[in-house]
A and B are shown apart, each in its own frame.
Chain A
Amino acid sequence: MLLLFMFAAIVLPEQSVGADKSGFATSKKGLTLDELLKQTSHHNAKVRKNALHGIKDLLEHNPAELHSLKYAIVDKLRERLSDDDKSVRDTFYLLFDSKIFPSCLEDNQGPMVSRLMPYIFKAMAESSVEVRLMAFKFFHLVVKHYPPTFSLYADKILENYKDIIQKNHFYVQDRSKLNVALSGLAHCLSLLPCDESDNESHKENEPLLAYEQDAANESARFAHVSGRLKEIVGVLINCFQDFIPLIHTPGGFDEKSFSCLHHILCSIGHAIKFSIRMHVQRQTMCLPAYEDDTLMLLDQDIAPLVSKKLLGSFPLNPENNLSGKVDERYFILNSVLTKIFLEVSDWSHLHTDLCNRFLVFIENTLLDKVTRSDRQRKPIPKPIHEKTLLALLPSIPKLILRMDSDWRENLLQAFTSTFNDCKPESPLTLACISVVRNVIIPNGDIHYLSESDSTVNNYLRVWVNKLPSLLNQLGDKHPLSSQAVLKLLLDLGRVGCLNASPTFEEDIINFFNPCSQGEGDVSGGAFARLPREAQDLALAFLYYFTINNFSSPLLESIVSCCLNPHLEPAVLCRIVEVVHDAYEAGYIQITDHFSFLTTLVARFKVVPEEGQFSMECKEQETHRGTLKALTELVCLRLSKMGDGSLVLQILEKVLLEQINLKPWFDNGCAILRIICTLDSKPTSLSESSITTLSEYLPGYLIDIVKCIPEDKQNSSIYIQTCLYYLIPCYFMFERSSKLTEEVLKRMQSIVSENTKALESVQDRESGRHSLNLIQCVVSVVLLMHNDVKVRKIISSSKSEIDLILQDVISLQTSGSTSLTVEGKHMMKMAGERLKIASNSLVT
């Protein structure tokens, strides 16, 4: 009946074309898929098996076939699950394991699984033990490939598992058979939603101000299995009891028994964890209660079982000294038991003696003192130990808060040693940091200082003082751990609980300073190389750190961090903002802040390598844009700090000192811009400052002109760029006529000097240099002349311009040998343009 239906449903290609096999995928033996499928229900086991092999073979060569006929194949093959013949069943399993499931990974496997499930359940209920085991094994395969299967059929599946484990006396002789069922169960139970975070995460973007969706969440789907879980836990504990004699046998137990025990304990652990979680959730969310809904650990039947039979058997110790392998197994089982203990101890009262046994184990694990056995004293292999620690660490804060003072101190001591020992690259670091965090800040509220117990405080202080050095150890290789450390430091800083030791400060300084330990290209602090989020955290921390721990070395290291060419511009701005905020809040002295801002502007390197000159380089290649933004920011901050003229008075000396050093013209421009922002008309700069400026400006102006490639002198982009540099000069000229005069005078003297030099010197090279200088000065004058406002300003110093003109003309007419024809032409051009300009100045 079923078969008939199947054939009706499958439209196999052959039906439309007749029996012609050409063009269809065939197996090695030349059979089409249809034929093979027919053969799978043949009465001869051998034929069936061969047919399955044939299908496997066929699918291997024609993967597309599987996609188009997936359901047809599954519908036919599923009958073989409860085949009488073992080899057929095994082939069947292999076929699904190797071919069908892996190739359907991307598809929606739901429909396929729902076709399989009835047959799996049927097979699970078969009388033959072998068939049943195969059904469980196959089911495990299904769950592995399609985890939601479990949640869809949870109740029925758990019932079946309970059934088979209960009847374990059938196959107590052969552990591997029992193991098949137990491993599947452990896998299923691990799928129970135990973590609060996993269903919070996808709620993230639920719209606000809207009706709440009453959609059932995942845990609600499992709500009804708690009764079933109780039964399972009961059965598992009994099963565990059956193994107890084996544990104490002299030879220890073999691999298979270990695997069984491990699965049993893991399953119990998962079930208990889930039950607790459901219980807590039900209280918080007011979920409707189900009948058998009490917490498993408060259940009259289960609670004594758990505490006496399960936990009571701790620790599992071998009777005799055994080989290392067996010792490891005992250790693993003990650690799983400890995990269960940690879950249970929250909710039920356990005997002190029992608790102590567990605590000793935890302490020894933290201290890494667990030994294999008395004779060998070899430590447990690192990976296993680490894995256990990772599982135990999250519960440490809870234990520390709850234990009496003796145990508390022991645990603190033990944890300190773990924390000190863990390497930056190990995942333990992150776990340890979160322990430190949870001990110090349990519920987002600080516990650090309020704790009256001084021993605890001492430990906490040790931990906190270790954090910065840990930060430096982590470098930029482990951004997640760095971020966790920074977050913790930030939170401590926010509540003012840093009380930093000198080494703490030093480490922080090193963290920011990119070149403190730097030898060669290896830079020091990791700050500049961390991802943006970590940098943001570090800067927020910096703000709070400056409150009590501001020092000039710290400021120096921040400055050198800012000047690091690898720093992102946005981060640079953020640093300036943070420092300014700290200044505004009164944590940084005004002089320190001034020197911070001016140093930044004066020292910021626009071009990484010296010698690259012109504005040819695009903005992206240089940091010119960054400096522009920085200058703007600094100007804004300075003008915010108070009355401009006052600020200028304070800053004048410093800024002009910087000018005296003849900085790179980009930095020069930035300094000039600051002066302009703060200054007013008429200028409030002192005489000596004007002199200094007048010494600097001619060179500055010439530098700007030099940067303009000749052929692009008139392109608007260049003029605009030039304007950025020229405008501060123009402002100054406007504010001080004396400065204008001086600058023009100086330029004139440059021209006359070079004219003289040209007349006397024969050297070609220096001749060209002089000529260039003159050319540049002329360009500067012309540029200034081009600007309507500046034209007015310089018109008062017309005499100087006329002098320049004279020099140029004299050079043009002189018969100097060093002047080439080209040079003469240049001078002629310059002379003519200058003449026009000069004439227009009169009018």
Chain B
Amino acid sequence: MPRKNQLRLSFDGVWHERLVSIQACCLVVEFVIFVGKVEKDLFSDRKLVPLKFFGPQPQGRELSSSHQRRNNKWTRQSHSLSIGLVKVAALSPAKAETFGLMWTSSVWSCLRANFTSRFQKLHRWIETEAAPQILYEQRDETTSSLRIFGSLVGTSKAKLSCMEISVIASSSIDGGIGSWDIKTGTEQLRFKQCASPAHGLAAVGEKFLAASQLRNASGSSGSIFFWSWNKPQVEVRSFPVESVKALAANSEGTYIVGGGASGDIFLWEVASGKLLKKWHGHYRSVTCLVFSGDDSLLVSGSEDGSVRVWSLLRLFDDLQRQQQGSTLYEHDFNEHTTSVTDIVIDYGGCNAFIVSASGDGTCKRQQQGSTLYEHDFNEHTTSVTDIVIDYGGCNAFIVSASGDGTCKVWSLSKGKLLRNIIFPAAINALALDPGGSIFYAASVDSKIYVGAMNSSSDYATQSLGSVSEQGKAVTCLAYCADGNLLISGSEDGVICVWDPKSRRLVRTFSHGKGPVNNIQVVRRTVVGNSNKAQSSWKKNGSSLPPPPLEKYERSGDNTVDGIVIVDPPPLSDVPVYSSYHSADLINEQVRELQQQGSAATEIEMERLKLEYKKSLQMNDQWQKNYENLLQVVMEEELNGSSS
């Protein structure tokens, strides 16, 4: 490679620190590359800058040798570590370009503290799961800044790719859940008996589908049904205390969250069916629930027009605090980036205001011990119909749509309204473009509008296309990052797949007569035969359906010490109950293990010991890898500065 055109990665001191912390957490899953521009007129022409990424073939000597014995998941790990070797070639001669790598993790909050606010100011990032190639370059007309989104995971993913991506859709009248393969368009299994409300369909991990049900004449209790992916019949029926409308599951499928008609929000653990927490979230029924990209935050929208942001960590924290009899509200820094710089308490006695400020630029002025939520966005005048959250981690944007015909963009870190975009008609659903600067809004007048976050006008009139001639409303949207497809469902039961770039219809599926009101893109790993060595309980767990969700919070056992994280291989092959479990569940599993016959236990113990040893070795390897990486980077740095 010609050195001239080569941009190098420069890791400054701060970067090292970050790497160390990530290393320590062992939680690196994916990474993103971004180009931050320092000089104003570096790329002065407005053409698309072709950018090539070389790698991420490991080039370091030791690294490649350490590669040989690895199975799939391990390779993936080392890919993310070998980022330091990625070469990026750009057309223009490198000036003072800073080039960095951004790491995301599934347990984001652990890492959050390490990103300074300065860093956040500079960059926005996007998850790389999206596409195996450079997505595109984006240019801000106003600030002439340049962002390039790309993904390096693609190649490594391709190796693993037994991924199957399907579209599932349900309707408000009993039409079952239809599923289609997005690539071929063939219809797959149709799951029976489902009449779900809008936002009432969720994929629970890769194993189950869950949908809240509309039909219950009695009205006293709701119902949530589970289907297993390979059986069309309902597998598990649960009946929560009240009718549940919105439903969401975290990406691992360990928790399920339901929003009730009274505004209560329920949080269940899927594996045990336990109702971990129930709290009063809104004044009126909850219309939609969304997890943030890293599953640490829950955003809920309600019929009363408010959008609230909940930190799952804090919800449990607060619970504990209440148990301890303490009422003091405390700012929780897991959600924010830097430490508190100042706290002032005024003289109002029990009604005092605490003003606490933290380095991440947020300030909470809250009445003591009063609220559970992080933010309460209250500008919509009527029911919130959909919410999307972009990939910005703790600095993300939240876009909410409402029946009042507006979409509002909120900043998660600042907790305030950034934009208000007015559409010609009420908006039913939203989908976010992976670039993060535009979103698609499905309206009741059968059009899909394109909303731009940065447009100078408050009115959005540009539309992608119209779904039907008769003015049937578009009711739901989903974005499939693989292949960049937008999927819309409309009231006449037709599901359309669009290519948003060319604004053309790619294909259509027909769900049936009733209105489609839920669409989800589900990716599932087709389980290969390679992984025989599964622990017995895991096997049991994966083959058995989960128990029904419980109605009430268990009050007896207060031994819950929050949520523990079992350190898993980040990409386990059967990721049903992979990473998080409540302590209770783990205790139970331990007990189970102990109760089993001694021989079995011993075998199990042996196996576990072996695994433990393995993981110790792994840990060593990791450390080595890191050191190698560091060394390579340093060398590069030295070479760079010397040349």
Which residues of A have CB within 8 Å of B456? Answer: 205
Q: Could you tell me if B121 and A208 are in contact, using CB atoms closer than 8 angstroms?
A: no
Which residues of B have CB within 8 Å of A536? Answer: 381, 404
Which residues of B have CB within 8 Å of A348? Answer: 347
Q: Could you tell me if B304 and A540 are in contact, using CB atoms closer than 8 angstroms?
A: no
Bound together, the chains give a CA A210 to CA B147 distance in angstroms of 9
Bound together, the chains give a CA A536 to CA B404 distance in angstroms of 8
Contact of A648 with B by CB under 8 A:
no
Contact of A821 with B by CB under 8 A:
no
Interface residues of B in 112-128 (CB under 8 A from A): 117, 121-122, 124
Q: Could you tell me if A402 and B143 are in contact, using CB atoms closer than 8 angstroms?
A: no
Q: Could you tell me if A211 and B142 are in contact, using CB atoms closer than 8 angstroms?
A: no
Which residues of A have CB within 8 Å of B370? Answer: 445
Contact of B500 with A by CB under 8 A:
no
Interface residues of B in 399-415 (CB under 8 A from A): 403-404, 409
Q: Could you tell me if B147 and A209 are in contact, using CB atoms closer than 8 angstroms?
A: yes
Q: Could you tell me if A640 and B347 are in contact, using CB atoms closer than 8 angstroms?
A: no
Q: Could you tell me if A208 and B342 are in contact, using CB atoms closer than 8 angstroms?
A: no
Contact pick for B491, options A205, A208, A346, A640, CB 8 Å? A640
Minimum CB–CB distance from A540 to chain B (whole Å) comes to 4
Q: Could you tell me if A285 and B361 are in contact, using CB atoms closer than 8 angstroms?
A: yes
Which residues of B have CB within 8 Å of A632? Answer: 471
Q: Could you tell me if B344 and A283 are in contact, using CB atoms closer than 8 angstroms?
A: yes
Nearest neighbor of A633 in chain B, beta-carbon distance: B471
Contact pick for B348, options A209, A402, A442, A578, CB 8 Å? A402
Minimum CB–CB distance from A218 to chain B (whole Å) comes to 19
Q: Could you tell me if A212 and B121 are in contact, using CB atoms closer than 8 angstroms?
A: yes
Q: Could you tell me if A286 and B304 are in contact, using CB atoms closer than 8 angstroms?
A: no
Which residues of B have CB within 8 Å of A640? Answer: 491
Q: Could you tell me if A346 and B305 are in contact, using CB atoms closer than 8 angstroms?
A: no
Contact of B512 with A by CB under 8 A:
no
Bound together, the chains give a CA A200 to CA B240 distance in angstroms of 45
Contact of B155 with A by CB under 8 A:
no
**What 0/1 pattern do residues 357 to 388 of B give for CB contact below 8 A with A?**
10101110111001100001010011100000
Interface residues of B in 581-621 (CB under 8 A from A): none
Nearest neighbor of B141 in chain A, beta-carbon distance: A207
**What 0/1 pattern do residues 194 to 223 of A give for CB contact below 8 A with B?**
000000000001011111100000000000
Q: Could you tell me if B304 and A495 are in contact, using CB atoms closer than 8 angstroms?
A: yes
Given contacts A283-B355, A494-B283, contact A537 B381 (CB under 8 A): yes
Interface residues of B in 537-577 (CB under 8 A from A): none
Contact of A490 with B by CB under 8 A:
yes
Q: Could you tell me if A347 and B381 are in contact, using CB atoms closer than 8 angstroms?
A: no
Bound together, the chains give a CA A211 to CA B34 distance in angstroms of 13
Nearest neighbor of A346 in chain B, beta-carbon distance: B346
Given contacts A444-B376, A494-B305, contact A286 B357 (CB under 8 A): yes
Contact pick for B306, options A207, A283, A494, CB 8 Å? A494
Given contacts A208-B397, A346-B346, A442-B367, contact A280 B355 (CB under 8 A): yes
Contact of A636 with B by CB under 8 A:
yes
Q: Could you tell me if B342 and A209 are in contact, using CB atoms closer than 8 angstroms?
A: no
Counted as pairs of residues, one from A and one from B, with CB atoms less than 8 Å apart, the total is 98
Nearest neighbor of A295 in chain B, beta-carbon distance: B344
**What 0/1 pattern do residues 483 to 510 of A give for CB contact below 8 A with B?**
0000000110011100000000000000
Q: Could you tell me if A577 and B304 are in contact, using CB atoms closer than 8 angstroms?
A: no
Contact of A585 with B by CB under 8 A:
yes
**What 0/1 pattern do residues 436 to 471 of A give for CB contact below 8 A with B?**
000000111110000000000000000000000000
**What 0/1 pattern do residues 322 to 347 of B give for CB contact below 8 A with A?**
00000000000000000001101011
Contact of B284 with A by CB under 8 A:
yes
Q: Could you tell me if A585 and B303 are in contact, using CB atoms closer than 8 angstroms?
A: yes
Contact of A681 with B by CB under 8 A:
no
Bound together, the chains give a CA A494 to CA B304 distance in angstroms of 5
Given contacts A208-B419, A402-B351, A495-B304, contact A283 B283 (CB under 8 A): no
Q: Could you tell me if B351 and A211 are in contact, using CB atoms closer than 8 angstroms?
A: no
Minimum CB–CB distance from B468 to chain A (whole Å) comes to 12
Q: Could you tell me if A496 and B351 are in contact, using CB atoms closer than 8 angstroms?
A: no
Minimum CB–CB distance from A175 to chain B (whole Å) comes to 38
Q: How large is the interface on A (under 10, 10 to 19, 20 to 34, 35 or more residues)?
A: 35 or more
Which residues of B have CB within 8 Å of A443? Answer: 365-367
Q: How large is the interface on B (under 10, 10 to 19, 20 to 34, 35 or more residues)?
A: 35 or more
Which residues of B have CB within 8 Å of A283? Answer: 341-342, 344, 355, 357, 363
Nearest neighbor of A349 in chain B, beta-carbon distance: B347
Contact of A761 with B by CB under 8 A:
no
Interface residues of B in 470-496 (CB under 8 A from A): 470-471, 491
Bound together, the chains give a CA A283 to CA B331 distance in angstroms of 14
Which residues of B have CB within 8 Å of A540? Answer: 305, 381-382, 404
Bound together, the chains give a CA A590 to CA B366 distance in angstroms of 44
Bound together, the chains give a CA A283 to CA B453 distance in angstroms of 29
Contact of A35 with B by CB under 8 A:
no
Minimum CB–CB distance from B288 to chain A (whole Å) comes to 15
Q: Could you tell me if B304 and A284 are in contact, using CB atoms closer than 8 angstroms?
A: no
Contact pick for A401, options B284, B351, B359, B366, CB 8 Å? B351
Given contacts A205-B456, A444-B378, A495-B304, contact A284 B361 (CB under 8 A): yes
**B344, B376, B456: most-surrounded residue (chain A CB, <10 A):** B344
Contact pick for B454, options A207, A347, A402, CB 8 Å? A207
Nearest neighbor of B444 in chain A, beta-carbon distance: A577
Contact of B426 with A by CB under 8 A:
yes
Minimum CB–CB distance from B451 to chain A (whole Å) comes to 12
Minimum CB–CB distance from A830 to chain B (whole Å) comes to 40
Contact of B418 with A by CB under 8 A:
yes
Q: Could you tell me if B359 and A286 are in contact, using CB atoms closer than 8 angstroms?
A: yes
Contact of B233 with A by CB under 8 A:
no
Which residues of B have CB within 8 Å of A604? Answer: none
Contact of A594 with B by CB under 8 A:
no
Bound together, the chains give a CA A402 to CA B351 distance in angstroms of 6
Contact of A543 with B by CB under 8 A:
yes
Bound together, the chains give a CA A357 to CA B355 distance in angstroms of 28
Q: Could you tell me if B376 and A543 are in contact, using CB atoms closer than 8 angstroms?
A: no
Q: Could you tell me if B283 and A495 are in contact, using CB atoms closer than 8 angstroms?
A: yes
Nearest neighbor of A570 in chain B, beta-carbon distance: B424
Contact of A581 with B by CB under 8 A:
yes
Q: Could you tell me if A490 and B381 are in contact, using CB atoms closer than 8 angstroms?
A: yes
Which residues of A have CB within 8 Å of B140? Answer: 207, 209-210
Which residues of A have CB within 8 Å of B143? Answer: 207, 210-211
Nearest neighbor of B419 in chain A, beta-carbon distance: A208
Contact of B625 with A by CB under 8 A:
no
Contact of B55 with A by CB under 8 A:
no
**What 0/1 pattern do residues 75 to 116 of B give for CB contact below 8 A with A?**
000000000000000000000000000000000000000000
Contact of B23 with A by CB under 8 A:
no
Given contacts A442-B367, A444-B376, contact A210 B145 (CB under 8 A): yes
Minimum CB–CB distance from B447 to chain A (whole Å) comes to 15
Which residues of B have CB within 8 Å of A581? Answer: 382-383, 403
Minimum CB–CB distance from B316 to chain A (whole Å) comes to 21
Minimum CB–CB distance from B137 to chain A (whole Å) comes to 13
Q: Could you tell me if B404 and A209 are in contact, using CB atoms closer than 8 angstroms?
A: no
Contact pick for B437, options A209, A212, A347, CB 8 Å? A209
Nearest neighbor of B285 in chain A, beta-carbon distance: A585
Which residues of B have CB within 8 Å of A209? Answer: 124, 138, 140, 147, 436-437, 453-454
Minimum CB–CB distance from B71 to chain A (whole Å) comes to 39
Bound together, the chains give a CA A442 to CA B366 distance in angstroms of 10
Nearest neighbor of B349 in chain A, beta-carbon distance: A402
Bound together, the chains give a CA A496 to CA B306 distance in angstroms of 13
Q: Could you tell me if A636 and B471 are in contact, using CB atoms closer than 8 angstroms?
A: yes
Bound together, the chains give a CA A349 to CA B349 distance in angstroms of 11
19 A/B residue pairs, CB under 8 Å, sorted by A: A207-B140, A209-B437, A211-B122, A212-B121, A283-B342, A284-B362, A284-B363, A286-B361, A347-B346, A443-B365, A490-B381, A494-B283, A494-B304, A495-B284, A540-B305, A540-B381, A540-B382, A581-B383, A636-B470
Nearest 4 interchain pairs by C-beta: A540-B381, A284-B363, A283-B357, A495-B283
Known: A286-B341, A442-B367, A581-B383; 13 extra A-B contacts, CB below 8 A, are: A208-B437, A210-B142, A284-B361, A348-B347, A401-B348, A443-B365, A445-B370, A445-B371, A491-B378, A496-B283, A536-B381, A540-B305, A581-B403
